[in-house]
Structure formats: structure tokens, C-alpha cells
Structure 1
Amino acid sequence: MQLPQEPLPLRDIHLPPNPSWWPPAPGWWVLLAVVCGALMAGYLLYRRARRARLWRARVLTEIRQLADRHAHDDVAYATSLHQLLRRAAWRYAADAHHLQGDPWRQTLAQVPVDDATLDTLMTLEARMYQPYATFDRTAIEGAVHRWLQAAWRHVKPLEKSHA
């Protein structure tokens, strides 16, 4: 005996619901982390470059003010530039404020600059104590600026002196 075949009451195929937008897929989290890291690195690099630019501007302004203040007095100008160098050299030697001669040159040499710059900087000391020593203002300003820029880039931790 055969039963009459009735169509089965099947419903049409239903698609699953669309995926929720939250929480995002792991790839979006990785992309967010990369973007945040890039923004933070960009901000830190910008801040560092801005600080260096401001520092350079302050140093150049100070050198220019010293040159204007001591326009006709080479001894006072050499003394002022020498004091500026000593303040900057304090990062490299705690006793930089009273070094003279070869120990002072060794302190200056801790910053990676060429020997011509060191020789030019050493003429400051000679000019301070010998009023008629040779003195080229342009060369001295350039050497001071080069040394200070190199000192800013090359920061060495202050070593403890054995006193």
C-alpha cells in the first residue's frame, strides 16, 4: 500500500544574520595598535626635533648676544664663550669648571669633533689670558657652535670623579 505523497511543508533557506560590528576582528585590533604606535612615535620624534630646534636657536641667540655685547673686546668675548663651553662641558666632567690646558682639551675631546675644532676652541683659553694672542671671531663662533651641536647629540653620562 502506498501512501499518497503530499508535498512536505519545507521552509525556504534562511541566511545567517549579518555579523556584528562589535567586537572587531583581530586584524582591526592589530591595525589600531600599529596606528597608535606610529602616532606615538611621530609625536615623540616631533617633540625631540622641536626641542633640538629650540635649543639650537637659544645657543645661537646667546652666541650672537655675546658677540654684540663684546663687539670691541676680544678678551671679554673669549671669556664669555669659554664660560658657555664650560657650562656645556659639565655634562661630561663634573670638574669642567676649573680644568685648564690638556685636561680641558681632553674634556672637550669627549665630544666627537675634529682636531681643527678642538685647536680653535683651545685658542679661547690663550686669548683669555694673553691679550695679544691671535683671535678669529668667525672661526671661534663656528667651532663653538659645532662643538655645542655635537655635545647635544652625543650625551655621555657624567662619570663620578675620584676625588
Structure 2
Amino acid sequence: MATMPDLVLRDIHQPSAPSWWPPAVGWWWLAAALLVLVCAVVGWRLFRAWRRRRWQQLFDAEVAAAPDAAGRIAAMSSLLRRAARRHRPDADRLHGDEWLSFLDTGVPGAPFTTGDGIALRDGAFRRDAETLDTTALHALARARFIALMLGRRR
């Protein structure tokens, strides 16, 4: 066979690389799944923050409705007892040191049996309840109420 002298051969031309946009369908699915996951986490955190604020407002409103210091201490104790039933059905029937020990469960420093929380034992029945530090007790009881309502031991 005779060769053709006027035939010019050229290198093989590669097609151009595909562009990065638009991405393949799998990347869209991955982006959608990540978006759903991020929205779920943000939504859950917003819901928990809203629920925490609602419980704080409930606690503060019930305590503020009491006419005197003894009434405020009784309201704090009542709210704590209602929240404690979420962890132990008979917690509202505990009294004295058993009740304070239950409140101290998981809390560092035992603030209810040795600290300001000891006023919950008999503060609602004392004539001199005005002399107790109800502000510190309120902060302590409110933090424990929120922890019990959120389902944490601490």
C-alpha cells in the first residue's frame, strides 16, 4: 500500500475539563442533608432556650406573687417539688434532710444541705423569714428548678 505524503497527522485533542458548576446530583443531596441537619440543630437549641426562658419566667412569677419572704420560700419549695417529680415520683413527699439531700444530688458543694438552700427546710414556717437571704436562695432554687425541668441531675 502506498503512503500518502500530503496527510498531516495531529495529536489527539482531549476534551476540556468539566466545569465545577453546576455540581453533580450527589453534591446537591449532600448539601441538602447538611442544611437539614444544621436547621434541626439550630431549631432544637432555639426551642431549648425558649423553654428555659419560659420556665424561668414561670418560676420568677410564682415567687414574686408571694406576699412575704415566707411565702416566697414556700413557693420556691413548691415549684422544686413539682419539678422533682420528673425524676422521682415520690420526691414531693420527701421532707427535712431527705428533701435537701435529694436537691443536692449531682450539685457540687451541697448548697442545699450546707449552704443557702437550707432555708427550704423550715424557712416557710419561720417568723423571722425576712432575715434569711432570699435573693441567694432564689438564684439557687431557680437554677435547680431549671436543671430538674431540663431533665439533668445537675
Give the length in aligned residue pairs: 149
RMSD (Å) for aligned C-alpha atoms: 3.6
1:151 corresponds to: 148
1:95 corresponds to: 90
Could you say which structure has the larger radius of gyration? 1
Q: How far 1:131 sits from its partner (Å)?
A: 3.1
1:159 corresponds to: none
Q: How far 1:52 sits from its partner (Å)?
A: 2.4
Q: How far 1:6 sits from its partner (Å)?
A: 5.2
1:15-26 to structure 2, matched below 5 A, reads: 24=24
The runs of at least 4 aligned residues of structure 1 exceeding 4 Å deviation read: 3-23
1:125 corresponds to: 121
Secondary structure at 1:93's aligned position in 2? coil
Contact 1:113–1:147 under 8 Å retained in 2: no
Structure 1: runs of 5+ lacking an equivalent: 157-163
Contact 2:77–2:120 under 8 Å retained in 1: yes
Q: How far 1:61 sits from its partner (Å)?
A: 1.5
1:3-14 to structure 2, matched below 5 A, reads: none
* 1:57 maps to which of 49, 53, 56: 53
Change (3 A) 1:15 1:24: farther
Percentage identity across aligned positions?
19
Structure 2: runs of 5+ lacking an equivalent: none
Change (3 A) 1:38 1:153: farther
Q: How far 1:126 sits from its partner (Å)?
A: 0.8
1:86 corresponds to: 81
